[in-house]
Amino acid sequence: MGTDRHPAFFGYGSLVNLATHDHAPNTPVRLDGWRRVWRQTVLRPYAFLSAEPAPGAIDGIVAAVPGRNWAALDAREGAYRRHRLGAGALTVPEWADTVEIYAIDPAHHAPDVAHPILLSYLDVVVQGFLHQFGAEGARRFFATTAGWSAIHDDRAAPLYPRHQVLTGAERRLVDDCLEEWGVQRLPG
């Protein structure tokens, strides 16, 4: 199977939503020793979703980078730095060679600001978790993500370039979770 093995990435946000990319094969997995966190940066007035080493575990997908061609994915994840994941952090699918993760480049951090989170982005992320891990997995996303700030409600006029159309049930789940977590919603 040596020629069928690919380098891979661990997606923990919008990359979990397979409608936003065509990287295959892909496999739902759990990554130990990491958490998701909303990061404020100097790059834009909205928060980025990032990941950092921490106790606990997060769900996501491992997806292939066929032909070892990272260029398009690196361009999509331009604010992030790629890091190789250590052995034992997750069960690596047999088709995967090495697995890397994207995290916001510390040079871009702006810890003293409070940028809101784009609802159109959050919708895409939660839709992906619903499709990969079901409603409980989508709720786990909220529970295993730190750094929540206010939500910028841009659903009517999405600012996120890879936004998706959600069903009524998907929108309700996002809205219910935001309410349960007490996240403030700002008008668009």
Q: Which helix (H) or strand (E) holds 57?
A: strand 48-64
- Calculate the average pLDDT of the chain: 93
Question: Does 188 reside within a domain?
Answer: no
Q: Which pLDDT band holds residue 3 (cuts at 50, 70, 90)?
A: low
Residue 113, domain member (yes or no): yes
Residue 187 has pLDDT above 90, yes or no: no
* pLDDT (average), residues 57-67: 92
Nearest to 149 by CA among 78, 45, 57: 45
CA distance 56 to 49: 17
Residue 178 lies in a domain: yes
Q: pLDDT (tens digit, 9 = 90+) per residue, 140-170?
A: 999 999 999 999 999 999 999 999 999 999 9
Could you tell me what percent of the chain has a pLDDT over 70?
98
Structure tokens at 98: 């090495």
What pairs with residue 23 in β-bridges? none
The answer as to whether 89 is a domain residue is yes
What would the pLDDT profile of 88-134 be if each residue is shown by its tens digit?
Answer: 889 888 999 889 999 999 999 998 888 999 999 999 999 999 999 99
| 166-169 contacts at long range (C-beta below 8 A, 24 or more positions apart) | 166/123, 166/127
CATH number for the domain spanning 62: value is 3.10.490.10
Domains of the chain: total: 1
Domain annotation covers residue 144:
yes
Whether 119 maps to a domain, the answer reads yes
**Structural domain range at position 127:** 2-183
| Dihedral sign, Cα of residue 63, residue 110, residue 155, residue 160 | negative
Cis peptide leading into residue 25 (ω within 30°): yes
Query: What is this structure's pTM?
Result: 0.93
Return the pLDDT at 2.
47
Q: Please report whether residue 44 resides in a domain.
A: yes
Please say whether the beta carbons of 127 and 164 come within 8 A.
yes
8 Å CB contact between 39 and 48: yes
Query: Would you place residue 20 in the very low, low, confident or very high pLDDT band (cuts 50, 70, 90)?
Result: very high
32 located within any domain = yes
pLDDT at 72 over 90: no
Query: Residue 153, CB half-sphere, CA atoms under 13 Å: how many?
Result: 11
Task: State how far Cα 178 lies from the chain centre.
Answer: 17
